[in-house]
Amino acid sequence: MLRARLWLLVAIGLGTLTGCYGSSERDDDDDGGSSLPSDGGIDTGLDEGSTIGSLSDEEYAQLCDALLDYTLDRFYGSAQESLCKWQALTVAGFDAPASDQDLQQACQEFYDTCLGLPPPDEAMAPGVETCPPRPASCSATVAEYEACYSEFQQAFEQALASLPACFQVTLADLPIQLPTPALSPSCSRVAEKCPGG
């Protein structure tokens, strides 16, 4: 289930970049830059001047691969605790706990298990059949797409970090909602170039 959620994040990210998922709202006071820290970016190995709409299916699968690798590197690094917290909070409510204490105990047990999971193997890498649909009308470049996804990933991690800890969650908090950050300025520009997804 953890692996599925990691790939779900990539799908969410791809959908967000094309304006199909999440909010397109942004801070009107933003000067166009990003307040998120630089993390070294994403290297897809593709021509950064190529547009997303011009990529072949194989090249788009290569893009998906790079995004997933980037996500895994972060979520099995500094962001693992945030991802496991989200996973634990979500799953803990599935068995209809009878009290806040039962919910918190189930959450903590799953959280501890999640932290002990090894990184997934190469078999998880997506291919042409498993990538989200390629937005053929997207005129954003690979470089713009990479930058936007990196910003989305970091904003998503910050949103996950804001969720309550297991010892704080109560039955009144269920169901836990998937955090969906607003688009950053660079992602807003990409969304404008990729109408309709």
pTM summary value? 0.69
pLDDT, residue 28, reads 37
Q: How many domains are contained in the chain?
A: 1
Please give the span between the terminal C-alpha atoms of the chain, in angstroms, as a whole number: 27
Are 166 and 104 a contacting pair, CB within 8 Å?
yes
**What is the reported pLDDT for 117?**
81
The pLDDT score that the predictor gives to residue 149 is 87
Burial of 159 (0-12, 13-18, 19+ CB in 10 A): middle
Is 25 part of any domain?
Answer: no
**Domain region containing 135:** 2-12+49-193
One-letter amino acid for residue 174 of the chain: L
Q: Is the peptide bond before 126 cis (omega within 30 degrees of 0)?
A: no
In a domain, 22, yes or no: no
52, 45 contact by CB (below 8 A):
no
Residue 115 counted as domain residue: yes
- 52/194 Cα distance (integer angstroms): 9
| Residue 40, pLDDT score | 57
Q: Do the domain assignments include residue 44? A: no
Distance from C-alpha of 52 to C-alpha of 72, rounded to nearest angstrom: 22
pLDDT of the residue at 76 = 79
Measure Cα distances from 73 to 45, 78, 142, 178 in Å: 17, 9, 20, 21
Is residue 130 included in any domain, yes or no?
yes
Q: Is residue 67 part of a domain?
A: yes
pLDDT confidence of residue 30: 39
Question: In the beta sheet, which residues pair with residue 51?
Answer: 141
Task: Give 10-residue mean pLDDT values along the chain (197 residues).
Answer: 46 44 35 40 89 91 85 80 88 89 95 84 51 81 90 86 93 86 85 79
Q: Is residue 81 part of a domain?
A: yes
Taken as a whole, the chain contains a residue count of 197
Does an H or E element contain 92, and which?
helix 80-92
